[in-house]
Amino acid sequence: MEIQTILDLVKKYNPKSDQDMIQLAFEFARDAHKGQYRLNGDEYMQHALGATYHLAKIKMDDATIIAGLLHDVPDETSVSLDEVRKQFGDEVCSLVEGVSRLGKLKYRGMERYAENLRKMFVSIAHDIRIVILKFADRLHNLETLDILPRDKQLRIAHEVLEIYAPIAHRLGIGYIKERLEDCAFKYMYPDEYRTITELAQPKLERKEQYLGRLKDLLHQIFKENGIAPIGMESRVKHFYSIYRKSIKKNTPDLEGIYDLVAMRVIVESIAECYTVLGVLHQYFKPLQGRFKDYIAQPRQNNYRSLHTTVFSEENEIVEFQIRTTPMDYEAKYGIAAHWNYDESNKSSQRITKNLDWLQEILSIQSSTSYSHEEFLQTLNLDIFQNRIFVFTPKGDVINLPDGSTPVDFAYYIHSDIGRKCSGARINDMLASLNTKLNSGDVVYILTERNRKRPNPDWLSFIKTHMAKSRIKAQLREEHL
Ligand code: MN
């Protein structure tokens, strides 16, 4: 990655950007990291550039871009934060300092997890750009994870799926959330990742080709009805989301998932969104129960669009997503969008003040009467709906739906541990496999090495879709 790529990208969305200053930050960081290399042999600066590239992709402001280039200087080199401040000023310095502080965690296990979350929320309240910088940093680390040992890969991937991606989702930053999830998915569940990508790839290609052909017809229909869309593009569902949907709908072959590829229609006004919807329903028969009006009733993270699924040409089932340009921006960049099109009002505090859920979390976290556990439990209501947090004997956090049992836990860890599990110790006490787990429990799974198949009775009490689908698959194998 070259700094010029980033300069060009920034100039495109922000013609007033201070290109000289960005160039200067690049040279400053490059000199500071001189002679340092990443484990994969790359110059260290490639990491800073890689992370900053993502920041430019979501159109962040100059201060964030500059902080991205500098983000590892105080922690990894002999150049101090004060020198960064002298060269680049207070705003950039406070961003770099914030990212560095997020990386320093003192505890282990449950406390570490709570501490990590608390720090994320405090940073969001202080300046949301700090968390966005951390996302970009983590995303580039994930993209270069191959070189690390397996247990470290798992720890990082796990933390991303449990903490970073849900927060990115809550902040509506689709670009970041989808990439974090797909990168982590690959390391967390390598077998499932391979199965899903191999299964989905041909379907995605076929559907994209079909939608390419459909475009001409759509242009014609829209023209006849006096609609001129600003844009029409096919959007491909990301792999982790396909995986989750296949578990939820219990369709391992991905049949019946209609939105693998959707057609996105961007128009000028809200009124036009509804006109497009009407026209589509007039020409193509809609599938029942598939229409969703997220404009009148936005999702919790402020996602807005109209969704409908229709039988289109050649009786092909197609999902349409209809929205305006600002809605499209919000869907991809979420809260980060406020740093580009909403130029007049760049105060982070002003933006976060309007996030009721964040204010509530902050009031809880600042109250010292709450234990780590109570803090996590309150978070469940918001970000992690009805979830519990349990621990492996090593202190890794596993996030499961309320009501989960040791069998759910075992299958979450690995399908072979699930298959072979014969009992459990919860907080050092023997417990039966249908015991409901509580937040904070430390769970140790006992296995029987020679066991070949799971017990079908487990299906009657387990809670997670993942365990269900894995058990069913293992039982099917057995019958072949
Ligand atoms: Mn870094």
Ligand 1 mean position, distance from CA 233 (Å): 34
**Dist. CA 274 → ligand 1 center (Å):** 45
Q: 43 CA to middle of ligand 1, Å?
A: 13
What's the gap in Å between 334 CA and the centre of ligand 1? 23
Residue 254 has pLDDT above 80, yes or no: yes
Q: How far is the CA of 72 from the centre of ligand 1 (A)?
A: 5
Rounded Cα distance between 290 and 256, Å, is 12
Average pLDDT of the segment spanning 458-476: 87
| Residue 123 Cα to ligand 1 middle (Å) | 17
Among 3-7, 92-96, 101-105, 372-376, name the one with the lowest average pLDDT.
372-376
Q: Is the pLDDT of residue 94 over 70?
A: yes
Cα(105)–Cα(446) distance, integer angstroms:
31
User: Which residues in 103-206 belong to E strands, given as ranges?
Assistant: none
Cα(157) to centroid(ligand 1), Å: 16
Average pLDDT over residues 280-309: 91
Dist CA 240 CA 254 (whole Å): 13
Ligand 1 centroid – CA 65 distance (Å): 13
pLDDT of residue 336: 81
**Left (φ > 0), alpha (ψ -120 to 50) or beta: where does 289 sit?**
left
Higher pLDDT: 446 or 374? It is 446
What percentage of the chain has pLDDT greater than the value 90? Answer: 57
Which pTM was predicted? 0.79
Q: Which pLDDT value is given to residue 222?
A: 96
Q: At what angle do helices 45-57 and 174-188 cross, to 10 degrees?
A: 130
With bands split at pLDDT 50, 70 and 90, how would you rate the model's confidence at 314? confident
Question: What is the Å distance from ligand 1's center to 100 Cα?
Answer: 9
Ligand 1 centre from 365 Cα, in Å?
A: 27
b/e burial code for range 429-465 (CB count within 10 A of at least 16 → b): eebebebebebbbbbbbeeeeeeeebeeebeebbbbb
Q: pLDDT at residue 25 above 70?
A: yes
pLDDT at 170 over 90: no
Residue at token pair 């790839």: 201
All CATH 3.30.460.10 domain ranges of the chain, comma separated, are: 190-332
CATH 3.10.20.30 fits 356-479, yes or no: yes
What is the C-alpha separation between 358 and 125, in angstroms, rounded? 8
Distance CA(422)–CA(406), nearest Å, equals: 10
400 CA distance to ligand 1 middle (Å):
29
Residue 321 token pair? 């997503």
User: What average pLDDT score do residues 260-270 get?
Assistant: 95
Tell me, in angstroms, the distance from the centre of ligand 1 to residue 49's CA. Answer: 10
Residues of the chain with CATH 3.10.20.30: 356-479
The mean of the pLDDT values for the chain is: 88
Helix axes 174-188, 190-224, angle to 10 degrees: 150
Determine the distance separating the centroid of ligand 1 and the alpha carbon of 141, expressed in angstroms.
7
Q: What's the DSSP call for residue 78? A: S
Q: Determine the distance separating the centroid of ligand 1 and the alpha carbon of 443, expressed in angstroms.
A: 33
Q: How far is the CA of 89 from the centre of ligand 1 (A)?
A: 21
Q: Record the tokens describing residue 2, joined without a space.
A: 């070259």
Mean pLDDT, to the nearest integer, of 245-253?
83
Instruction: Give the distance (Å) from ligand 1 centre to CA of residue 37.
Output: 13
What residues contact residue 223 under an 8 Å CB cut-off, 6+ apart?
none
* Residue 306 · residue 323 · CB < 8 Å: yes
Does the domain spanning 190-332 belong to CATH 3.30.460.10?
yes
Q: Give the pairing type, strands 317-324 and 306-311.
A: antiparallel
Report CA(171)–ligand 1 centroid distance (Å): 21
Residue 135's pLDDT is what? 95
CATH architecture of 3-188: Orthogonal Bundle (1.10)
Instruction: Give the angle subtended at the CA of 305 by the CAs of 303 and 308, to the nearest 5°.
Output: 130
pLDDT at 184: 94
Give the mean pLDDT of 358-369: 69
Between the CA of 134 and the centroid of ligand 1 the distance, in Å, is 8
Q: φ and ψ at 49, to 5 degrees?
A: -65, -45
Cα(244) to centroid(ligand 1), Å: 29
User: 319 to each of 17, 242, 315, how far by Cα in Å?
Assistant: 38, 15, 13
Mean pLDDT of 57-78: 95
pLDDT of the residue at 341 = 46
If one compares 369 and 179, the residue with the highest pLDDT of the two is 179
Q: What is the dihedral of CA 37, 40, 43, 44, to 10 degrees?
A: -60
pLDDT at 346: 57
217 compared with 441, residue with greater pLDDT: 217
pLDDT at 347: 63
Ligand 1 center from residue 106 Cα (angstroms): 18
- How does pLDDT run across 119-151, given as a tens digit for each residue? 888 888 788 899 999 999 999 999 999 888 888
Average pLDDT for 455-472: 88
C-alpha 351 to ligand 1 mean position (Å):
26
Tokens of 453: 């198949």
Q: Output the 3-class SS for 404-457.
A: CCHHHHHHHHCHHHHHHEEEEEECCEEECCCCCCCCCCEEEEEECCCCCCCCHH
CA 1, CA 169: separation in Å to the nearest integer?
A: 27
Q: Across residues 341-345, what is the average pLDDT? A: 49
pLDDT exceeds cutoff 90 at 217: yes
Q: List phi, psi (to 5°) of 243.
A: -60, -50
CA 372 to ligand 1 center in whole angstroms: 27
The tens digit of pLDDT for each residue in 386-404 reads 677 788 888 777 878 888 9
Taking the centre of ligand 1 as the mean of its atom positions, its distance from the CA of residue 166, in whole angstroms, is 20
Please give the pLDDT value at position 117. 81
Among 103, 406, 81, smallest CA distance to 67 is for 81
Q: What is the mean pLDDT of residues 235-262?
A: 88
What are the two backbone dihedrals, phi and then psi, of residue 227, each rounded to the nearest 5 degrees?
-110, 130
Cα distance between residue 360 and residue 379, in whole Å: 10
CA of 71 to the centre of ligand 1 (A): 6
CA 137 to ligand 1 center in whole angstroms: 5
